[in-house]
Amino acid sequence: MSLTVVGSIAYDAVKTPAGERERMLGGAATHFALAASFFAEVRPVGPVGDDFDEDSWRILRTRGTVTDDVEHVEGGKTFFWKGEYSANLNQRETHITDLNVFETFSPKLSQASRDADVLFLANIQPDLQLNVREQCTRARFVAMDSMDLWINIAHDSLRKVIGTVDCLILNDEELELLTEKPTTLQAAQEILSWGPKAVVAKLGKYGAALYTADGFFALPAFPLHHVTDPTGAGDTFAGGFVGYVAAHPDEEIGHELLARAMAYGTALASYNVEEFGTDRVERLTADEIQSRVADLSRMTAFTVDPVALRT
Amino acid sequence: MSLTVVGSIAYDAVKTPAGERERMLGGAATHFALAASFFAEVRPVGPVGDDFDEDSWRILRTRGTVTDDVEHVEGGKTFFWKGEYSANLNQRETHITDLNVFETFSPKLSQASRDADVLFLANIQPDLQLNVREQCTRARFVAMDSMDLWINIAHDSLRKVIGTVDCLILNDEELELLTEKPTTLQAAQEILSWGPKAVVAKLGKYGAALYTADGFFALPAFPLHHVTDPTGAGDTFAGGFVGYVAAHPDEEIGHELLARAMAYGTALASYNVEEFGTDRVERLTADEIQSRVADLSRMTAFTVDPVALRT
């Protein structure tokens, strides 16, 4: 039950209708690790700079996450992102992307990270994803994220790494962009023909959908009164989803297990957006997660009624 | 089990990525009636002109719909709408809206229509909706639709009629616009305080969500390979949803019944968009509906797993 994630560890400056933060711990690997740490021993792989402070190390190590492969680049600065969300949170504008230590990042995995049962390739340049993928030869489940940038400028590399993973997790519009298909169902089926056994379409505030050879499964997002900060919601979802798989080493990884994993990803993501950055998931409890998964089950269940229809 | 609907009966010209139709039967009351006719005897109320042809009367009367209150305005022309959908069907542009006989429409209800058990007020001017609402004193369930136009130019009238119905069915963005709330949950809870016992948020290709005092329920849209023509999907959903309620006269109209009704609305709407206009729902069978409702149940069900989480 060991889980390696490669991806960004960052400082974020975020402005949302709920408020503003000048500098807080963020990054895909960070949000993923905080969520996945409920399910497995997580090993994030990614670079940080001299400015990476004690409090950030402490947060990253929440629930036993092992930071041996978080590489401190001497003289470097940690990846920095600054962005702002629109009034209804549907759109976000990036003001600053300072790659810093990420610009020359070459993933170095310890033997323990290479031996992981489960691997998540967060959104980084596809060639780096492939490099890490090829080092982790013992993984029984490999999932990956990406983004429109790589679809547009590194399409061939992206196709290549997708062909080596078990599950692709992407926004519905990115799935359609990647495959040039008009519906998410067609896009997902095309990707299933490239190698992956599962495709997860992230639908933002509308939830997420799972596509496998055995069918389709979908969950709404958990309904929230207030959304404070959507940053990291997708990676937190992935952390719950992939983490859940890692927590079930003796179960066959099929449609039914992945559907349950979706519920955990959805629950984790809903907590993440309630507060800025890592604040909420850092202090989240196992009971809170289980309670929200049970709520989701109730909120989507209905009985099929053999009502007599007119003809 | 009689069901009255007031709303537009129209001819539509539609262009979508799948093709083009110059003139086909459409309108909110038409799509609603075709779906609801599986569940109850439907009585549409609305005007048509001299150009309303025999084939349109025939389609409208599918599965026993009673057209006694479809008013033929001598010398008039039927409401005409022409629109075009974007490549991914997410946006539509209206090219022509000829109100024609609808411009001076004043709903005249026969005693049979006034005596309906269930009433649906499709999207028309809110004062007309209120007029019809007040004529139907015996209805045990009244639902209504509206649109951004009336929210913007007839806000007070709209508020007034909403206060007299049991259920408001609206797009999520319209719910937020109407209430000036930042989330659909807040918007729905605000509207529940105005009188309705239920709010349904239509989420387009992402499905629909139900809000009542007893909680939240959501269903994804049925996954489709091809969407030919989204026109009338919302009214078809409403026809299945409201029709299902009408088909259960002896059951208390609460959260659980309405959740089941959502599944029928979702199934009907998914068939509607598979072909142009009324083509698919006109020849739809009861078995096809039940089969899709059963599929939806499978596609949203998951077991809650008491997995041991790390702390």
Reported as a single tens digit per residue, the pLDDT across A40-95 is: 999 999 999 999 999 999 999 999 999 999 999 999 999 999 999 998 887 899 99
Is the Cβ–Cβ distance between B300 and B219 less than 8 Å?
yes
Is the Cβ–Cβ distance between A18 and A39 less than 8 Å?
no
Please report residues of A whose CB lies closer than 8 A to that of B180: none
CA distance B245 to chain A (A): 11
- Tell me if B219 and A300 make a contact (CB, 8 A cut-off): yes
Helix or strand holding residue A46 (H, E): strand A41-48
Rounded Cα distance between A261 and A167, Å, is 13
> How many CB pairs below 8 A link A and B?
155
Residue B31 has pLDDT above 90, yes or no: yes
- Quick one: closest CA in B to A220, which residue? B218
- Tell me if A304 and B263 make a contact (CB, 8 A cut-off): yes
Q: How confident is the model at residue A311, as a pLDDT?
A: 86
- Tell me if A259 and B302 make a contact (CB, 8 A cut-off): yes
- What distances in angstroms separate CA A202 from CA A58, A185, A207, A238, B203, one per listed residue? 30, 13, 6, 10, 15
Sign for the CA dihedral angle at A206, A257, A300, B307 comes to negative
Is the Cβ–Cβ distance between A55 and A282 less than 8 Å?
no
Q: Which of A179, A236, A233, A235 is nearest to A211 (CA)?
A: A179
Question: Residue B221 region, left (φ>0) first, then alpha (ψ -120 to 50), else beta?
Answer: beta
Residue A26 has pLDDT above 90, yes or no: yes
Is the Cβ–Cβ distance between A57 and A259 less than 8 Å?
no
Q: What is the DSSP letter of A43?
A: E
Cβ contacts of B302 within 8 Å, gap of 6 or more: A217, A219, A256, A259, A260, A262, A263, A297
Sign for the CA dihedral angle at B23, B25, B31, B34 comes to negative
Range from A17-26, A87-96, A216-225, B221-230 carrying the lowest mean pLDDT: A87-96
Q: How confident is the model at residue B217, as a pLDDT?
A: 98
Amino acid identity of residue B7, one-letter, is G
- Across all residues in chain A, what is the average pLDDT? 96
Q: Is residue B180 within 8 angstroms of chain A, CB to CB?
A: no
- Quick one: closest CA in B to A227, which residue? B183
Which B residues 25-44 touch A at CB under 8 Å?
Answer: 37-40
Q: How confident is the model at residue A305, as a pLDDT?
A: 87
Residue B306 has pLDDT above 90, yes or no: no
Nearest to B39 among A184, A256, A310 (CB): A310
Nearest to B223 among A63, A216, A311 (CB): A216
Q: How confident is the model at residue B97, as a pLDDT?
A: 94
Q: What is the DSSP letter of A310?
A: P
By the 10 Å C-beta count (0-12 exposed, 13-18 middle, 19+ buried), A260 is classed as: buried
CA atoms in the 13 A half-sphere facing the CB of B199: 29
Rounded Cα distance between A147 and B221, Å, is 25
Q: What is the ipTM of this complex?
A: 0.95
Q: Is residue B66 within 8 angstroms of chain A, CB to CB?
A: no
Q: Which of A69, A195, A209 is nearest to A143 (CA)?
A: A195
Question: Residue A76 region, left (φ>0) first, then alpha (ψ -120 to 50), else beta?
Answer: beta
A147-199 pLDDT, tens per residue? 999 999 999 999 999 999 999 999 999 999 999 999 999 999 999 999 999 99
- Tell me if B299 and A215 make a contact (CB, 8 A cut-off): yes
Q: Which of B266, B178, B250, B275 is nearest to B217 (CA)?
A: B266
- Name which of B212, B273, B309 to mutate to probe chain A: the one with the most chain A Cβ atoms within 10 A of its Cβ: B309
CA distance B11 to chain A (A): 25
Q: How confident is the model at residue A157, as a pLDDT?
A: 98
Please report residues of A whose CB lies closer than 8 A to that of B302: 217, 219, 256, 259-260, 262-263, 297
The pLDDT of A277-303, averaged and rounded, is 96
Q: How confident is the model at residue A88, as a pLDDT?
A: 80
Residue B1 has pLDDT above 80, yes or no: no
Rounded Cα distance between B137 and A266, Å, is 44
Backbone angles phi, psi at B292, to 5 degrees: -70, -35
Rg (CA), chain B: 19
Q: 3-state secondary structure string, A289-303?
A: HHHHHHHHHHHHCCC
- Tell me if B203 and A206 make a contact (CB, 8 A cut-off): yes
Cβ contacts of B193 within 8 Å, gap of 6 or more: none
Please report residues of A whose CB lies closer than 8 A to that of B286: 309-311
- Strands A92-98 and A79-85: what pairing? antiparallel
Cβ contacts of A284 within 8 Å, gap of 6 or more: A38, A268, A271
Cβ contacts of A267 within 8 Å, gap of 6 or more: A222, A240, A289, A292, A293, A296
Is the Cβ–Cβ distance between A41 and A8 less than 8 Å?
no
Residue B102 has pLDDT above 80, yes or no: yes
- Tell me if B302 and A218 make a contact (CB, 8 A cut-off): no
CA distance A75 to chain B (A): 35
- Name which of B2, B181, B206, B284 to mutate to probe chain A: the one with the most chain A Cβ atoms within 10 A of its Cβ: B206
CA angle (B51 as vertex; B45, B52 as ends), nearest 5: 40
Nearest to B88 among A37, A182, A259 (CB): A182
In chain A the domains, ranked by start, together with CATH numbers, are 2-300 (3.40.1190.20)
The pLDDT of A203-220, averaged and rounded, is 97
* Residues in chain B, total: 311
B69-81 pLDDT, tens per residue? 999 999 999 999 9
Please report residues of A whose CB lies closer than 8 A to that of B307: 39, 244, 247-248
Task: Measure the CA dihedral B262/B268/B271/B273, to 10°.
Answer: -80
Question: Residue B152 region, left (φ>0) first, then alpha (ψ -120 to 50), else beta?
Answer: alpha
- Tell me if B215 and A298 make a contact (CB, 8 A cut-off): yes
Helix or strand holding residue A123 (H, E): none
Nearest to A304 among B184, B297, B309 (CB): B297
Backbone angles phi, psi at A23, to 5 degrees: -165, 115
The pLDDT of A119-128, averaged and rounded, is 97
Rounded Cα distance between B28 and B51, Å, is 18
Q: 3-state secondary structure string, chain B?
A: CEEEEECCCEEEEEEECCEEEEEEEECHHHHHHHHHCCCCEEEEEEEECCCCCHHHHHHHCHHHCCCCCEEECCCCCCEEEEEEECCCCCCEEEEEEECHHHCCCCCCCCHHHHCCCEEEECCCCHHHHHHHHHHCCCCCEEEECCCHHHHHHCHHHHHHHHCCCCEEEEEHHHHHHHHCCCCHHHHHHHHHCCCCCEEEEECHHHCEEEEECCEEEEECCCCCCCCCCCCCHHHHHHHHHHHHHHCCCCCCCCHHHHHHHHHHHHHHHHHHCCCCCCHHHHCCCHHHHHHHHHHHHHHHCCCCCCCCCCC
- Quick one: closest CA in B to A214, which residue? B299
Helix or strand holding residue A212 (H, E): strand A208-212
CA distance A64 to chain B (A): 9
CA distance A98 to chain B (A): 31
CA angle (A70 as vertex; A65, A72 as ends), nearest 5: 140
Is the Cβ–Cβ distance between B175 and B148 less than 8 Å?
no
Q: Is residue B207 within 8 angstroms of chain A, CB to CB?
A: yes
Residue A1 has pLDDT above 80, yes or no: no
Q: How confident is the model at residue A160, as a pLDDT?
A: 98
CA distance B144 to chain A (A): 23
- Strands B70-72 and B167-171: what pairing? unpaired
- Tell me if B39 and A207 make a contact (CB, 8 A cut-off): no
Q: Which of B142, B188, B198, B134 is nearest to B165 (CA)?
A: B142
The owner of tokens 């008039």 is B76
Q: What is the DSSP letter of A98?
A: E
pLDDT confidence band for B305 (50 / 70 / 90)? confident
B248-294 pLDDT, tens per residue? 999 999 999 999 999 999 999 999 999 999 999 999 999 999 999 99
Q: Is residue A180 within 8 angstroms of chain B, CB to CB?
A: no
- Name which of B258, B285, B305 to mutate to probe chain A: the one with the most chain A Cβ atoms within 10 A of its Cβ: B305
The pLDDT of A124-147, averaged and rounded, is 97
